[in-house]
């Protein structure tokens, strides 16, 4: 029987932050038999499998999907497509290990879901390393009551969120219809803008959830991704704007990690 909600969490060497993300999921009021959490392990070499096993023992409905071939850097578009293909929920939600949030994420995603909308966070902020060092020991309190602690820890103000589909939920059927993220985005960055533009051809629009904010925790940049790779991503975005066809990938999209 299909579940109501599938949550995708792509990750690459973010075990410490993944542990925090799963801690927040475990506090949900939504029964564990109503949703699943798909951890899309894109070649991590850290303790990601251990963290997943720990929370699975606590009853959290986790499925760990791992890329069988080691590689350098994240391939976020493909990782997310693997999750879309494997997901069984009608509603598909997404987040990332480094994002802290102030809501009961699984429950709220089902509560606010609308078939023609991509529901996302209303506000967000990004922490630098000096901010991160101040809050690391207090992250649960800061996540849930950011404004209360912002001045004390000298943190940045919350701002209106970027229209990013990776902080909310949508109908999985829409993603299947356009064959997921464009897998020509080989590292990370740009695949989210491209997806939103393509979903708009199906009359799917962005809507922010009042009162929901995310905190983007600091993490080191991927040193192996050079400027030339970023430039390729931006060129792809410009080309995609001129391509009216929302379907980009071949029929075997989201299966490059092996048979699902």
Chain center to CA of 215 = 13
CATH code at position 95 = 3.90.550.10
For the chain, the distance separating the N- and C-terminal CA atoms, rounded to the nearest angstrom, is 18
What is the model's pTM? 0.93
pLDDT of residue 193: 87
pLDDT of residue 244: 60
Residue 249 included in any domain: no
Residue 83 included in any domain: yes
Residue 257 included in any domain: no
Residue 248 included in any domain: no
| Structural domain containing residue 172 | 5-241
pLDDT of residue 7: 98
pLDDT of residue 8: 98
Residue 55 included in any domain: yes
pLDDT of residue 142: 96
Residue 247 included in any domain: no
Q: What is the pLDDT along the chain (260 residues), one digit of tens a residue?
A: 568 999 999 998 999 999 999 999 999 999 999 999 999 998 888 999 999 999 999 999 999 999 877 665 568 889 999 999 999 999 999 999 999 999 999 999 999 999 999 999 999 999 999 999 999 999 999 999 999 999 999 999 999 999 989 999 999 999 999 999 998 887 667 889 889 989 999 999 999 999 999 999 998 875 555 556 666 666 776 776 676 678 888 899 998 776 55
Number of folded domains that form the chain:
1
Residue 256 included in any domain: no
Residue 100 included in any domain: yes
């Amino acid at each position: 029987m299909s579940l109501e909600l599938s949550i995708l969490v792509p990750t690459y060497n973010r075990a410490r932050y993944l542990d925090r993300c799963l801690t927040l999921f475990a506090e949900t009021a939504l029964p564990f038999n109503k949703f699943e959490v798909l951890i899309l392990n894109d070649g991590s070499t850290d303790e990601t499998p251990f963290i997943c096993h720990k929370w699975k023992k606590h009853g959290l409905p986790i499925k760990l999907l791992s890329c069988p071939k080691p590689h350098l850097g994240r391939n976020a578009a493909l990782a997310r497509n693997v999750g879309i293909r494997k997901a069984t929920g009608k509603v598909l939600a997404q987040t990332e290990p480094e994002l802290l949030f102030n809501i009961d994420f699984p429950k709220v995603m089902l509560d606010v879901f609308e078939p023609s909308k991509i529901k996302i966070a209303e506000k967000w902020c990004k922490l630098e390393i000096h901010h991160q060092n101040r809050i690391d020991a207090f992250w649960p309190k800061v996540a849930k009551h950011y404004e209360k602690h912002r001045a004390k820890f000298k943190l940045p103000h919350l701002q209106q969120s970027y229209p990013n589909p990776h902080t909310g939920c949508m109908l999985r059927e829409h993603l299947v219809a356009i064959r997921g993220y464009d897998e020509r985005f080989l590292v990370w960055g740009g695949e989210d803008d491209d997806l939103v533009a393509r979903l708009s051809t199906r009359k799917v629009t962005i809507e922010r959830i009042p009162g929901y904010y995310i905190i983007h925790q600091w993490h080191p940049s991927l040193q192996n991704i050079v400027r030339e790779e970023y430039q390729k991503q931006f060129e792809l975005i410009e080309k995609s704007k001129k391509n009216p066809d929302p379907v980009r990938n071949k029929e075997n999209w989201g299966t490059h990690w092996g048979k699902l």
